Amino acid sequence: MREFHSYRPAEGHRLKHEPANAIVAPRPIGWISTVSAEGVANLAPFSLFNIASYRPLIIGFSSGGEKDSVRNARETGEFVWNLVGRDVTDVMILTGDEVGPDVDEFDMAGIEKIASVDVAPPRVAASPAQFECKVTEIVHLKDLDGIPSDFRMVFGQVVHVHINQECLLDGIYQTTHAVPVSRGGGPADYYEARADALVQKWRRGPVTPVDRKREFSK
């Protein structure tokens, strides 16, 4: 018979580290760029991020506390999500440092900006894909007793999508081309998504790039 380590979160997990964020992992990184009401650009990574709706296309990120990204999104109604590929992981981590609202993380980390089309926040030029978003709602999360938590969930409808042409093959986006990096548990755990880790439900074993190209050519 299997044995489980069970606990009620309200009573503590009794382990060395919080297991929940390691169990629900890896998670896409919400690398969010915003602009303050004063015009200062901000760029920060969020480990609580995902797509929430296909039609309309809505994504969301959750922040502990009213951080610059949340405040800027609330005041301006706009933000941009920048995909984190392996090539930009190191600078992404730099933008996670706590700095004042007057600091432009693009400049601080030496990250090239590229102008957005439909929103004010700039995009990360080296990111393989970016979503320009308009805020639809910001939800202050509550517990079962209706007591507000420290977390705010920011939802935004995607109004413009940008994809690096190198990530497209025969009109199909290649998820692993940019080696996207996702967040794991612990203070420094990240995971790469690579083609040799792909498992398709109608076949067994890893899928090679040759297999993928052959499949597309049918």
The domain locations on the chain are 17-216
- Whether the pLDDT of residue 212 is over 80: the answer is no
Task: Grade residue 188 by pLDDT with cuts at 50, 70 and 90.
Answer: confident
Q: Compute the average pLDDT of residues 150-170.
A: 97
Peptide bond into 56 cis (omega under 30): yes
- Whether the pLDDT of residue 11 is over 70: the answer is yes
**Residue 202's pLDDT is what?**
66
- Residue 80 is which amino acid? V
**Residue 197's pLDDT is what?**
87
Average pLDDT over all residues of the chain: 92
What superfamily in CATH does domain 17-216 come from? Electron Transport, Fmn-binding Protein; Chain A (2.30.110.10)
- Whether the pLDDT of residue 159 is over 50: the answer is yes
Q: Compute the average pLDDT of residues 124-129.
A: 98
- Whether the pLDDT of residue 217 is over 60: the answer is no
Report field, pTM of the whole predicted structure over 0.95 = no
* Burial category of 127 from C-beta neighbours within 10 Å (exposed 0-12, middle 13-18, buried 19 and up): buried
> What are φ and ψ of residue 140, in 5° steps?
-85, 110
Show the CA angle centred on residue 115, arms to residues 173 and 163, nearest 5°. Answer: 5
Least confident of 44-53, 112-121, 122-131, 194-203: 194-203
